[in-house]
């Protein structure tokens, strides 16, 4: 699976958009980009994933560059409850098994009041 | 939470004692996983299961065994607990959807080996 690089920490003002970058320059054509987050002491929570098209759901938007070497997770209106560690993962997941999910260090996002 | 329940949520045990953690799911998902999380290491896969009685090792399986006799239960056993197994343990299931596969995690079990 491709290695991902994320900044260790970021701050964002409450109510503003939080843009979390992720670099995955060695991603292969059949690897998805997944984003999870982990709020302190809780289990990781799925946010969104995509292959090459931009994706949006009720939680966030995922923007993947055309060359797929990087992506940005966007939380459009960050709240204090969005303070968490955000993990970007690039992996090939098929057939329903997620054992390829490898969680690195992630980005600690702190939403400031 | 995809119907995942971990028990116990907290446990303190002595070195050398056996410990079993339970993961229970209510939605008949095929794949189940056990991870541990330690500072500086992120989440690391211990064992996973792809069906009843079908299990395989993950990245950090030494000192752990698992069993899955029913679809809904995935048990993680520390045969003889050591202090290095003090950690937070997460169970997960994965669900295949139209656009890919998503993993859902339990709330974790905090295990302290003294």
Q: Kindly state whether B34 is in contact with chain A, defined as any CB-CB distance less than 8 angstroms.
A: no
Structure tokens at B26: 């209510």
Rounded to a whole number of angstroms, the distance between the first and last alpha carbons of chain B is 31
Q: Give the A:B interface size as CB pairs under 8 Å.
A: 63
Helix (H/G/I), strand (E/B), else coil: A27: coil
Q: What is the pLDDT of residues A45-91, one digit of tens each?
A: 999 999 988 999 999 999 999 999 999 999 999 999 999 999 999 88
What is chain B's length? 114
B60 phi/psi in degrees, rounded to 5 = -130, 60
Residue linked to tokens 């950090």: B60
Q: Kindly state whether B28 is in contact with chain A, defined as any CB-CB distance less than 8 angstroms.
A: no
Q: How many Cβ atoms are within 10 Å of A112's Cβ, its own excluded?
A: 11
Q: What is the pLDDT of residues B27-80, one digit of tens each?
A: 889 999 999 999 877 889 999 999 999 999 999 999 999 999 999 999 999 999
Element spanning A35, H or E: strand A32-38
Q: Which chain A residues touch B88 with a CB distance below 8 Å?
A: 41
Q: Kindly state whether A106 is in contact with chain B, defined as any CB-CB distance less than 8 angstroms.
A: yes
Structure tokens at B27: 């939605």
């Amino acid at each position: 699976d491709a290695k991902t690089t994320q900044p260790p920490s970021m701050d964002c003002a409450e109510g503003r958009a939080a843009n979390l970058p992720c670099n995955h320059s060695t991603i292969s054509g059949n690897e998805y980009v997944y984003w999870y987050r982990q709020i302190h002491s809780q289990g990781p929570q799925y946010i969104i994933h995509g292959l090459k098209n931009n994706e949006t759901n009720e939680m966030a938007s995922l923007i993947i560059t055309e060359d797929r070497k990087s992506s940005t997770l966007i939380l459009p209106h960050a709240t204090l409850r969005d303070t968490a560690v955000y993990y970007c993962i690039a992996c090939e997941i098929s057939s329903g098994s997620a054992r390829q999910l490898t969680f690195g260090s992630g980005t600690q996002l702190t939403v400031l009041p | 939470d995809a119907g995942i329940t971990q028990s116990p949520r907290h446990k303190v045990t002595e070195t050398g004692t056996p410990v079993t953690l339970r993961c229970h799911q209510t939605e008949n998902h095929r794949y189940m996983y056990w991870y541990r999380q330690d500072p500086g290491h992120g989440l690391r896969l211990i064992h996973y299961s792809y069906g009843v009685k079908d299990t395989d090792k993950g990245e950090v399986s030494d000192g752990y065994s698992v069993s899955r006799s029913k679809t809904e239960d995935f048990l993680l056993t520390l045969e003889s607990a050591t202090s290095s197994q003090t950690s937070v343990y997460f169970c997960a299931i994965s669900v295949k959807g139209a656009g890919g596969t998503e993993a859902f995690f339990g709330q974790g079990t905090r295990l302290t080996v003294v």
